[in-house]
Structure 1
Amino acid sequence: MMAIQALRAYNFFYFSLLSVFISFLPVYLSSQGVTPADIGMLVGLGSFIGILSQPFWGMISDRRKTIKKVLLFTLGFSLLVGFILFQSSELGMLFLLVGGMYFFMLPTDPLTESLNYRVAEQHGVHFGSVRTFGAIGYASASLVIGFSVDQIGMDRLYLVYAGYGVLAFLLCTVIPDAPVSGKRLSLDDLRRFLAYPATLRFFLLILLAAIPHRTNDSFLGVYVQSLGGTTGMIGLAWFVAAISEVAFFAWLPRLLRSGSEIKMITLASVIYAVRFFLCAAVSDPLLVVILQLMQGVTFVIFYTASIQHLYSIIPEEWKATGQTVLAVIFFGISGIIGSFAGGWVFEQWGGAALYQVMAVCSLVACLYSTLLWRKEKKAAGI
């Protein structure tokens, strides 16, 4: 079980590193005088680059039959680019560096999730028992970073990023590689997978549910600041969100049964809607922080159910690529829409209006998920 322990340690520090990138990049950009609309453009551009980079690295992983080596390469370059990014302030340079981060850093997430799922499966442990350590890392790092930056200043965020990055990279060198399929890769298999109506309907559902989630990722920190919150409160918000994930990852094996994935995505979508409506209704930044407790119910159930459903319909030899397609939709396409549209709405009408729009989007996802759920029940003769 040393392999699982090493993987858990890697998850802890990798997701700590990811918290700097996801949680504090928009806050860092805002501290450099970048407007909400320009933040949306920067993140949206990065998400577009992620659409291209994630399938690229996923295909390399499948064809080379290794996840670990590709992870080491992308993680190493992410460390270098991020170290420079968090010391930069000129808008043109920020566009270039943010693009570089999304090219190298964004693909590390689906690769890590695929590694987690397949190594856990090989060793007979539940995916959640590994991924929980990532949530703990994300939570603890968010809290530490938020309050540390209040003391040392946002201009030294690059030191925190470098510390977590080096530890994650070193641990990546000792984790096991994922078991790979011995089947020959076939482009025809991938075409059939992507052309299958059930797959297309599933990916549309992921897009609808992911847009408001990714918008929250981009603008939660900026929204808390706009209500008068400090950087420490932003870190606390992400800590609360991540620590709630830990609890639900622990309970997930009891909640998520095979064949119930669409039902659980429906549940997550309606709770997303409630969460965002409440965020729009309050004016106290501390209340927004407390509402992030709902992250455990929403993200953990939604994302894990999505992975489980995906793995039940995709050919074995394309699992890493399929995971990447899911990530392209979740982090790429939805990120572009959420960042560009979210930045524009925030600048025109404010943060409360943005969260109202996000809540409506979640309701649309809930309605569509309900239709798919009923369609599945009808097809199964239930």
Structure 2
Amino acid sequence: MWVRKKVNMGIASLRAYNFFYFSLLSIFISFLPVYLTFRDVTPSQIGVLIGVGSFIGILSQPFWGMVSDRYQTIKKVILFTLGFSIVAGAILFLSAPLYLLFLLVGAMYFFLLPTDPLTESLNFRIAQKHSVSFGSIRTFGAIGYATASLIIGWTIDQVGMEQLVWLFLGYGILAFLFIAIVSDAPASGKKLSWLELKQFFLYPKTLRFFLLVLLAATPHRTNDSFLGVYVQSLGGSTGDVGQAWFLAAMSEVAFFAISARILSRWSEIKLIMVASALYTIRYILCAIVPSAEWVVYLQLTQGMTFVIFYTATIQYLYKIIPEEWKATGQTVLAVLFFGISGIIGSIAGGWVFQQWGGSALYMAMGGFSLVAFGYSLFLWKSKRVGERIG
């Protein structure tokens, strides 16, 4: 009885950490472009700034994942990266001089973004250890992202962008306190093997999988960077931006809750193919709708696109990667999702937005998602042919 109560308290603490960490992440991902616009940074400059940050993320995320694997701890690495993120973010949102923005945004990408894949790895491993579903834990992160987006957007409309720093500090400190009492993830008893890692990366199935992730993730990350700017360009307010992210995250809550059931009935590649098709429809509709209000409500499709895509990729990754490299594999996935795709999406997206406007950008994103759908369809058919031959 005592052991069960302790386990339940540990799961509850992990859920609370997810709630406040993803609330913190919503401030950085959802409102950083809006904050930079408030500081008179142009869309193309925002694209470069986020692109440089994404490049830093390419280096930092595998680094922290390998540190986690090397020292067989996830929690301690999260405490370190999250602590530095809170300090850097507080300075960033305290109206730092423009010449410091690049340095501070870079610091956030070096510390805060790698905390995401480490958190996902912690969630997945603890869920496996205690036989609970990954979605039942991750759902609280989606709820946090949703509520924070709504609260922050409304609060900024009421008291001004200058008060964003206090919201950031509040969510950050609470996230730090809850992760401090969460148990560490179970460590693998196997020794790290560089030869196995090399074989994993050179394996054709792995390369094809990572290419598919890159194709599907690039328009998604472009949307992360420019949704707020696009909504405001159509006449929407900061509150509308918050509402858009709230609706997106609430749709994630619903789909995370049923993700285990979906994953048990469909193959990962087939789910990624469906998500890519839905991404295509979503972005084309965003490009052709007549007002900001329509773009806001279209974010309700986030659950059908992002959650299906992301949970399917995580499950597939954990099937093909060696046990001792799971944290590193998770960070490689994050490098593609938040790093390389972020660089392509933010820099190219900022240029397209500056030259032709937000509607053209979202039409291009729809085209990119269509390519991802075509490639996932090819992989799915190839898999079916291979199974028949086998």
Q: CA separation in 2, counterparts of 1:162 and 1:253?
A: 34
1:10 and 2:17 matched? yes
Give the superposition deviation at 1:256.
Answer: 1.1
Q: CA separation in 2, counterparts of 1:50 and 1:271?
A: 28
8 Å CA contact 1:62–1:320 kept in 2: the answer is yes
Secondary structure (helix, strand or coil) at the match of 2:40 reads coil
1:365 and 2:365 matched? no
Q: What is the alpha-carbon root mean square deviation over aligned residues?
A: 0.9
Normalized against structure 2, the TM-score is what? 0.97
Structure-2 residue corresponding to 1:274: 281
Secondary structure (helix, strand or coil) at the match of 2:264 reads coil
8 Å CA contact 1:32–1:89 kept in 2: the answer is no
What is the aligned counterpart of 1:284 among 266, 271, 291?
Answer: 291
Where does 1:1-150 land on structure 2 (aligned, <5 Å)? 1-150=8-157
1:340 and 2:347 matched? yes
Give the superposition deviation at 1:306.
Answer: 0.2
1:308 and 2:315 matched? yes
Could you list the structure 1 runs, at least 4 aligned residues long, displaced by more than 6 angstroms after superposition. none
Structure-1 residue corresponding to 2:4: none
**Greater Cα shift, 151-160 or 311-320:** 151-160
8 Å CA contact 1:88–1:94 kept in 2: the answer is no
What is the number of residues matched between the two proteins?
382
Structure-1 residue corresponding to 2:306: 299
Structure-2 residue corresponding to 1:176: 183
Structure-2 residue corresponding to 1:349: 356
Q: CA separation in 1, counterparts of 2:266 and 2:39?
A: 47
Q: CA separation in 2, counterparts of 1:94 and 1:269?
A: 34
Give the superposition deviation at 1:89.
Answer: 4.8
Structure-1 residue corresponding to 2:170: 163
In the alignment, structure 1 segments of 5+ residues that lack a partner are none
Structure-1 residue corresponding to 2:202: 195
Secondary structure (helix, strand or coil) at the match of 1:106 reads helix
In the alignment, structure 2 segments of 5+ residues that lack a partner are 1-7
Alpha-carbon displacement from aligned partner over 1:153-181 (angstroms, at most 9, x marks no partner): 00110110000000000001001111110
Normalized against structure 1, the TM-score is what? 0.99
Letter in 1 for 2:67: I
Q: CA separation in 2, counterparts of 1:205 and 1:90?
A: 39
Q: CA separation in 1, counterparts of 2:338 and 2:238?
A: 24
Q: CA separation in 2, counterparts of 1:254 and 1:136?
A: 20
Q: CA separation in 2, counterparts of 1:262 and 1:123?
A: 27
Q: CA separation in 2, counterparts of 1:338 and 1:258?
A: 32
8 Å CA contact 1:207–1:333 kept in 2: the answer is yes
Alpha-carbon displacement from aligned partner over 1:86-128 (angstroms, at most 9, x marks no partner): 1235332101100011000110000000000000010001100
Alpha-carbon displacement from aligned partner over 1:30-76 (angstroms, at most 9, x marks no partner): 00000000000000000000000001100000000000000000000
Where does 1:215-226 land on structure 2 (aligned, <5 Å)? 215-226=222-233
Letter in 2 for 1:304: T
Give the superposition deviation at 1:315.
Answer: 0.1
Q: CA separation in 2, counterparts of 1:342 and 1:283?
A: 21
**Greater Cα shift, 2-11 or 199-208:** 2-11
What is the aligned counterpart of 2:158 among 128, 138, 151?
Answer: 151
Q: CA separation in 2, counterparts of 1:38 and 1:240?
A: 28
Q: CA separation in 2, counterparts of 1:90 and 1:380?
A: 59
Q: CA separation in 1, counterparts of 2:209 and 2:265?
A: 16
